[in-house]
Amino acid sequence: MTGLPEKDTAWEPQLHHLTTYVALGCAALFICLVALHFEYTPDDAYIYFQYAKKIAQGKGFSFNGSTPSYGTTGPLWALLIAGGTKLGFTPYAAAKSLDFIFAFLSIAAMQLLALEILRNKSYAFLAAALFSVDAWFIRWSGSGMESSFAVLLAIAAVWLFLRRHWILSAIAFACLTLTRPEGSILFAIMYLRMLLSERSKNERTMSDRLVPLCCYAAVVSSWLIFSYFHFGKILPNTYYGKSTGLPPVNDILPAVWAIFKLLAATQFPLIIVCAASFFFGDRRLSWHDKHFLLAWTVALPVFYVLDGVEVVSRYLLITLPFLIICGVNGLQIFTRRLHLPSKGILLLVLAVMTVTIAQNQILYWWVTKPHVDNFVIGMNNSLKPMGRWLRDNSEEHASVFVPDVGVIGYYSDRAVCDIGLVTPELGIGFRGLDYDAGMLQRKYDAVVRPDYVIDRSSIPERLSSSSLVPIMTRQFPGLSITHTEMIYYTLYKSIK
């Protein structure tokens, strides 16, 4: 597989030195920035911690340790954390450590994949450098989520595919699917490309072409069969909670624009360069080498839009390495097509690096870092104390209704219920209502009568009544990047 190989030129050693030193500096910067917000751990990560804890205790895939529930997007990530827990680590320590290790390995893997496609060490180092400074990638690295592991699997799977290690590649794709189900789209694109490849048509028999598909299907179907008989479903509850189906036509363009803004927020220069290479570059060059990557970077957002998923930056990370490689490949094509002199090439590469690094540093320090700092304060001052209070002051068999189940379930060690993630039957009571309306009408009482209720609102103690007695109210600043208003969590005792 080749992208656009460069011939030996007088400027190549200079470019190689420049990109090598920049890549090393960016890798060091990545470690420092992740360390600055390593305490950042979203509630979804605690959901994984809780499942891993129960698995390690021998209670299976169950959030509450009694009834099986499919509340994790990536079962393979939960199993990895459970493995670390069995070795004596806490789920928190196991997940955070693995996440950081996989994130750092992803940078090294990115350099190998870029070299395989671009066939130029200088541009491969450039791709790895721009990947390592991406503000979204930095934000989620070390968070305890499955994102970094999924990114590493996606890079490894494609690299193995390009090296024609079909079986290993299929297994890697299967592991990616069991970490992020959307990975199945990437496997379908790569498998289709293998079938359409002229080399594959000439060298491989039909049975040879079916082997990767069978390996992939064997791994994935094993989990699907287990999931069907254990949970009664093959898709996680997270899918039903985040997917709303095909949106109205008027909502499609805003959804596309929202995704574009997320990608452009960190990689706008490369997006421009990649687009320019199509309009001004030689369109005969490297069709198979670049377009299959672009197909993936487009297919995943299209899937999210058509499925009505509200996209956050974490969902797009598995497309990020391929978007960057396409952009760098566009830079290669663009510079060759314009016949830039040596100095011009160096200045263009330096300009792209400088603008991209500056853009991501501004986003990190002005947007990401303030948010994660506020989020850590909110978790430490509100949800964690509530979870510990429930653990120390409630009966062992007490039940808690809560909108964010992860940290409360992990710290309280009490049975929790929510609107669909852990207890999907509660979603029936809230059908057709948003969270606020359902809470004000106490729709959860139609299914379960919890001993305690935790409410999330911009109005403190809004549910206070003779049957719901406030115990603790805490502020939570900056629950998300897009919602910066002050939120109040209130813990109530339910008087039955």
Is the Cβ–Cβ distance between 335 and 351 less than 8 Å?
Answer: no
pLDDT value at 286 more than 50: no
What average pLDDT does this structure show over 86-109?
A: 97
Please state, as a whole number, how many other Cβ atoms lie within 10 Å of the Cβ of residue 258.
16
Average pLDDT of 323-341?
84
Nearest to 140, CA basis, from 49, 52, 34: 34
Residue type, 401: F
Give DSSP secondary structure letters for 120-138.
-HHHHHHHHHHHHT-HHHH
SS3 318: helix
Q: How confident is the model at residue 284 (pLDDT cuts 50, 70, 90)?
A: very low
Pairing of strands 399-401, 452-457: parallel
What confidence tens digit (pLDDT) does each residue in 124-144 have? 999 999 999 999 999 999 999
Collapse the DSSP code of 491 into the 3-class scheme (helix H, G, I; strand E, B; otherwise coil) and give the result: strand
Longest CA pairwise span in the chain (Å): 82
Residue 422, φ and ψ in degrees, nearest 5: -95, -35
Average pLDDT score over the chain: 89
**How much of the chain exceeds pLDDT 70, in percent?**
93
Place of tokens 């594959």: 200
Q: Please report which confidence band the pLDDT of residue 481 belongs to, taking 50, 70 and 90 as the band edges.
A: confident
**How many other C-beta atoms can be found within 10 angstroms of the C-beta atom of residue 285?**
17
What is the C-alpha R_g of the chain?
Answer: 24
Q: According to the per-residue pLDDT averaged within each range, which of 228-237, 359-368, 479-488 is highest?
A: 359-368
Spatial separation of the C-alpha atoms in residues 137 and 437, rounded to whole Å: 35
Asked if residue 370 has pLDDT above 70, the reply is yes
Residue 281 confidence class, pLDDT cut points 50, 70, 90: low
pLDDT value at 4 more than 50 = no
Residue 338 has pLDDT above 70, yes or no: yes
Q: What mean pLDDT do residues 369-392 have?
A: 96
Residue 154 has a pLDDT of 98
Q: How much is the pLDDT for 10?
A: 52
Q: Is 62 helix (H, G, I), strand (E, B) or coil?
A: coil
| Confidence bin at 1 (pLDDT 50/70/90) | very low
Separation of alpha carbons 377 and 34, rounded Å: 17
**Banded pLDDT at 334 (limits 50, 70, 90):** confident
User: Strands 399-401 and 487-494: what pairing?
Assistant: unpaired
Q: What is the mean pLDDT of residues 304-317?
A: 93
Least confident span in 246-255, 315-324, 387-396, 421-430: 421-430
Token duo for residue 434 = 């948003």
Residue 205 has pLDDT above 60, yes or no: yes
Confidence of residue 213 (pLDDT cuts 50, 70, 90): very high
Partners of 491 in the β-ladder: 454, 472
Q: What is the mean pLDDT of residues 281-309?
A: 77
> What is the pLDDT averaged over residues 109-117?
95
pLDDT tens sequence across 165-191? 999 999 999 999 999 999 999 999 999
Q: What is the pLDDT of residue 201?
A: 55
Q: Which is nearest to 410 in space by CA: 45, 38, 37, 40?
A: 45
Query: Rounded to whole angstroms, how far apart are CA atoms 496 and 363?
Result: 49
Within 10 angstroms of residue 434's Cβ, the number of other Cβ atoms is: 8
Pairing mode of beta strands 487-494, 468-476:
antiparallel
Question: What pLDDT shows up at residue 443?
Answer: 85
Please state the length of the chain: 496
**Euclidean distance between CA atoms 135 and 120, whole angstroms:** 25
